[in-house]
Structure 1
Amino acid sequence: MLYVLLDSHRPIKKVTLIYSINSIVSSSQSAKNLGVILDNTLSFSTNIKAVARSCRFMLYNIRRVRPCLTQEAAQVLIQALVISRLDYCNSLLAGLPACAIKPLQLIQNAAAHLVFNLPKFSHVTPLLRSLHWLPVEARIRYKTMVLAYGAVRGTAPQYLQALIRPYTQTRALRSSTSGLLASLPLRKYSSRSARSAQSKLFAALAPQWWNKLPHDARTAESITTFRRHLKPHLFKEYLG
């Protein structure tokens, strides 16, 4: 059994035990759900450490057999066993500062070096360009925008669609059909921690990132077309 206590604006009193019909559920600093570790501050620091540790183990094993692999085989293996772990549920990390996701970026850097069998201090940006790998931060943004596209088009779950509102104007201007999103009104908090947490919400990030996309991406008629416009846009922004 998993329970989560959410606070609106007042501190929650410490709860150590919850009694259910047939059992007693004790509180914990973290809990795993669908392979993702949720901590009691939703910083995802515990999950990031776990993912990084798992990826390091995979890279260690691949490095042992790297002399027997071609570059193409090494890339396929690393993408299947390492990059896929970096991508799993990564939209949960949207809005985290660069320092928080740095361990994951270091893993991707090490993976790129291993594909090309280069020393770890080799410049990584040309390697990422050659592999056509978006950096970790861009991959998080990519996944978030794919979810936003589903919400805009009505294919995402209802709870995500409820967080999206098309931008409209009173006069019929060209911008009214450009696929922009309006920012939903959010509660105003006085504490810095509450404002910081609020800035990471999907309802706050999705319109902000979506409105920066090129017009062709925002108005794409299919998810395939949307992805085709989205990745080059992020690739250019993050890797030049």
Structure 2
Amino acid sequence: MKQHISSVSRTCYFQLRRIATIRKYLTTDATAKLVTSTILSRLDYCNSLLAGLPSSSISRLQRIQNSSARLVLRKKKRDHITPLLNQLHWLPVPARITYKINTLTYKCLHGLAPAYLSDSLSLCPFTSTQIICRLPQAQHPPHQTQNSRSTLIFFPST
């Protein structure tokens, strides 16, 4: 995953520098569309695989998004980033990852996803204390702990 994040970072910063050279000729809307199509699309590509990574890895991608927002809105590095992201209606990178996982799960459960995804997720009856879902064991063997109990590696909160 480090190689993937490094590659995405390198490509995105290269594109940001190229956009910055022509920024003075672009409107805010045109710049936002350009950044969305070239930068944010790269951040969103396969980002569901980044779930559960340490925050140090995710923060590298967040810095790219922050730089993109500052470029679009012509703000300085010292300006707070949260109002800028809100103004552009952009979710932070960790929220984008969770949103992608939740969207894929919804599509799988409602028959809107491809068969290879829908078949790997099954809806289980609700028990009084928890929801138990099982993935096919051939693809995802359970991980054993010291007490010989299976554990779930990652399950995003909704």
TM-score if structure 2 supplies the norm length? 0.82
Structure 1: which 5+ runs fail to align?
Answer: 1-43, 174-179, 213-240
1:199 is the counterpart of 2:153: yes
Shift of 1:90: 1.1
Give the direction of change, closer, same or farther, for the CA distance of 1:188–1:48 in structure 2 (3 Å limit). closer
Structure 1 distance, partners of 2:13, 2:45, is: 16
Structure 2 distance, partners of 1:121, 1:184, is: 47
Letter in 1 for 2:25: C
Q: How does 1:144-223 map to 2 (within 5 A)?
A: 144-169=101-126, 182-184=132-134, 187-190=142-145, 199-200=153-154, 205=155, 208-209=156-157, 212=158
1:66 is the counterpart of 2:23: yes
Structure 2: which 5+ runs fail to align?
Answer: 136-140
Shift of 1:169: 4.8
Structure 2 distance, partners of 1:117, 1:124, is: 12
Structure 2 distance, partners of 1:77, 1:169, is: 45
Structure 1 distance, partners of 2:98, 2:153, is: 14
Paired residues of 1:165 and 1:181 also in contact (CA < 8 A): no
The CA deviation string for residues 184-213 of structure 1, in whole angstroms up to 9 with x for no partner, is 38724237xxx99x514xxxx2xx53xx3x
Q: Secondary structure at the match of 2:112?
A: coil
Shift of 1:71: 1.1
Which has the larger Rg?
A: 1
Which of 32, 39, 49 lines up with 1:75 in the alignment? 32
Give the direction of change, closer, same or farther, for the CA distance of 1:149–1:181 in structure 2 (3 Å limit). farther
Q: Secondary structure at the match of 2:23?
A: helix
Runs of 4+ in structure 1 deviating by more than 6 angstroms, as ranges, are none
The CA deviation string for residues 63-116 of structure 1, in whole angstroms up to 9 with x for no partner, is 111111111111111111111111111111122122111111000000000011
Shift of 1:160: 2.9
Shift of 1:47: 0.2
Paired residues of 1:167 and 1:182 also in contact (CA < 8 A): yes
Letter in 2 for 1:136: V
Which of 95, 102, 107 lines up with 1:138 in the alignment? 95
Paired residues of 1:112 and 1:128 also in contact (CA < 8 A): yes
Judging by fraction of residues, say which structure has more strand: 1
Partner of 2:49: 92
Q: Structure 1 vs Structure 2: percent identity of aligned residues?
A: 40
Structure 1 distance, partners of 2:84, 2:54, is: 24
RMSD over aligned Cα atoms = 2.7
Between 1 and 2, higher relative CO (CA 8 Å, sep ≥ 6) is seen in 2
Letter in 2 for 1:151: C
Paired residues of 2:9 and 2:61 also in contact (CA < 8 A): yes
Give the direction of change, closer, same or farther, for the CA distance of 1:59–1:188 in structure 2 (3 Å limit). closer
